[in-house]
Amino acid sequence: MQAEFRARVSMKNPVHFLALGFGSGLIPFMPGTFGSLAALPLLIACSQVSIVSFIALTLIFSVVGIYLCGKTADDMQVHDHGSIVWDEIAGMFVTFLFVPITASSLLVGFILFRLFDILKPWPIGIIDKRLHGGTGIMLDDLLAGAMACGCLHLLMAFWPAALALF
């Protein structure tokens, strides 16, 4: 992260700490990928909770993320700085709605989510460009997560062996 933006955030501030993905967003290259990776231990920890609890956590992460990302972006004075990765964490949770958490599903889901998040196919790209603030920061990743989730469900339905690799 550039020094001028780094000086505007503090890992001692809980809002910044969460928005920067527990520090994973501070990695100077591929912060979105590292932010997505930061979601994996959380997903594994949540793998045994009920589906209702998982949905509730996903909703909480998403709604709270609007504030976390918006506030941190305001503090940094940059809209959607690459180091703000809470949106990736929430997007990863959306990816795994109604999907069994296994090593294979985590790998495939991670790859799918990153593809949708990086390539930004319609309508993700439009949302990314037109919406601002915390909602804009969060919504494109939540939609990328929904598209990755849909692909995972198609794989489970039509090619279950793809998720039974290990």
Q: Say which range, 7-11, 55-59, 149-153, has the weakest mean pLDDT.
A: 7-11
pLDDT at res. 3: 62
Q: Give the length of the chain.
A: 166
pLDDT at res. 2: 61
Distances (CA, A) of 34 to 25, 49, 54, 138, 154: 7, 24, 22, 17, 26
Question: Encoding tokens for residue 20?
Answer: 């920067």
User: Could you tell me which residue, 4 or 133, shows the higher pLDDT?
Assistant: 133
Kindly provide the b/e burial profile for residues 73-108, where b requires at least 16 CB atoms within 10 angstroms of the residue's own CB: bebbebebbbbbbbbbbbbbbbbbbebebeeebbeb
pLDDT per position as a tens digit, 90-113: 999 999 999 999 999 999 999 999
Domain that includes residue 20, residue range: 3-163
Q: What share of the chain is helix, strand, coil (3-state, %, to 5)?
A: 75, 0, 25
pLDDT at res. 160: 84
Q: At residue 161, does pLDDT exceed 90?
A: no
Q: At residue 1, does pLDDT exceed 70?
A: no
pLDDT at res. 80: 85
pLDDT class of 164 with cuts at 50, 70, 90: confident
Q: At residue 143, does pLDDT exceed 90?
A: yes
pLDDT class of 150 with cuts at 50, 70, 90: very high
Nearest to 94 by CA among 131, 141, 136, 126: 141
Question: Encoding tokens for residue 13?
Answer: 């501030």
pLDDT at res. 165: 64
Distance of CA 128 to the CA centre of its chain: 14
Total structural domains within the chain? 1
pLDDT per position as a tens digit, 40-63: 999 999 999 999 999 999 999 999
pLDDT per position as a tens digit, 69-87: 999 999 999 888 999 999 9
